[in-house]
């Protein structure tokens, strides 16, 4: 399959997409940058700071005013192009907060964009308008603590919270499984007609899909509880048993997700930890 890098794809009236050329085991074909609006625009998840992608975005914007360049979160495949694009086209960076690195110990690793800054930080429920139509902020911590989704004309731009091709990586200490599950639950109580994720195809059955994702995590949690109930185990042992046939490139991510489950179970008093070893409480 030829991925449509650097091409403007019109998905529906007022919603278009440009795919960045940063494919990987974590980004699928790459980061999908969305353009909202017709005469006045907003840009969601400008992506990596790659000249080819910035050129493609500038061509797609075609001189139209951009009210906001919005980031769902500050992983390096989402936000680094925000400031360079803003400087090219004269638009503010609006959206998620920078990660508060020092307040709770070192939360971030090399996958985070440490240079990110916002001209305006949006909180849950806050809106900005393009051509009189609102873009509504939906706070969805879990994948990262600063993750936001944005709703526009019934479509939810779901970033990495809900993706169309893979389950979301929840990697401690910044990733938090309990917060992620609450943020999934939050989406179940909404009536969005479609999700446009940063990676993978659109999700056209949001309610059913979110129920499926939540069920998958519950199954994973049960499986981890069963494994540490059999005997004391470390995380590599749990990963080897819980993810048979896993792509070796994803072993670290799977270990992170298992760790996120274990921390959540520990908080709920269901598992105990001694150094790197975990056992049922
Ligand atoms: Zn991410």
Q: What is the 3-state secondary structure (H, E, C) of 122-144?
A: CCCCCEEEECCEEEEEEECCCCC
232 touches 279 (CB < 8 A): yes
What gap in Å lies between CA 180 and CA 270, rounded to an integer?
A: 19
Ligand 1 center to 250 CA (angstroms): 14
Task: Check residue 104 and give its pLDDT.
Answer: 52
Structure tokens at 121: 């930080």
Mean pLDDT of 62-70: 98
46's tokens: 């400008």
CA dihedral 22, 260, 166, 16 (to 10 degrees): -60
Q: What percent of the chain has pLDDT over 90?
A: 83
What's the first-to-final CA gap in the chain, in angstroms? 49
Residue 249 pLDDT > 90: no
Residue 106 confidence (pLDDT): 57
Statement: the pTM of the whole predicted model exceeds 0.75: yes
Pairwise CA distance, residues 194 & 202, whole Å = 7
- Give the Å distance between the CA of 112 and the centre of ligand 1: 8
Expressed in angstroms and rounded, the spacing between residue 73 Cα and the centre of ligand 1 is 7
Mean pLDDT to the nearest integer, 148-163: 97
Rounded to an integer, the average pLDDT of 81-94 is: 98
Q: Are 198 and 186 in contact (CB under 8 A)?
A: no
Place of tokens 């803003």: 86
């Amino acid at each position: 399959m030829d991925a449509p890098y650097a091409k403007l794809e019109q998905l529906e009236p007022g919603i278009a997409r440009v795919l960045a050329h940063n494919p990987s085991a974590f980004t699928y074909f790459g980061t999908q940058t969305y353009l909202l609006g017709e005469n006045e625009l907003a840009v969601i998840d400008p992506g990596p700071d790659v000249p080819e992608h910035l050129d493609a975005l500038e061509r797609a914007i075609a001189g139209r005013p951009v009210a906001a360049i919005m980031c769902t979160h500050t992983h390096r495949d989402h936000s680094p192009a925000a400031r360079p694009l803003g400087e090219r086209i004269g638009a503010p960076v609006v959206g998620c907060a920078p990660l508060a690195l020092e307040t709770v110990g070192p939360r971030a690793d090399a996958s985070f964009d440490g240079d990110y800054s916002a001209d305006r930080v949006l909180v849950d429920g806050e809106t900005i308008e393009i051509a009189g139509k609102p873009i509504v902020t939906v706070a969805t911590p879990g994948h990262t603590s600063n993750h936001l989704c944005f709703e526009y004309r019934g479509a939810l731009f779901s970033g990495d919270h809900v993706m169309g091709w893979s389950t979301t990586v929840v990697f401690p200490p910044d990733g938090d499984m309990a917060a992620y599950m609450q943020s999934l639950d939050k989406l179940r109580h909404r009536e969005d007609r479609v999700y446009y994720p940063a990676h993978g195809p659109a999700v056209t059955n949001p309610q059913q899909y979110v129920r499926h994702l939540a069920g998958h995590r519950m199954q994973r949690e049960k499986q981890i509880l069963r494994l540490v109930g059999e005997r004391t185990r470390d995380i590599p042992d749990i990963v080897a048993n819980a993810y048979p046939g896993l792509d070796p490139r994803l072993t670290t991510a799977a270990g992170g997700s298992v760790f996120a489950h274990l921390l959540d179970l520990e908080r709920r008093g269901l598992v105990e930890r001694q150094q790197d070893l975990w056992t049922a409480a």
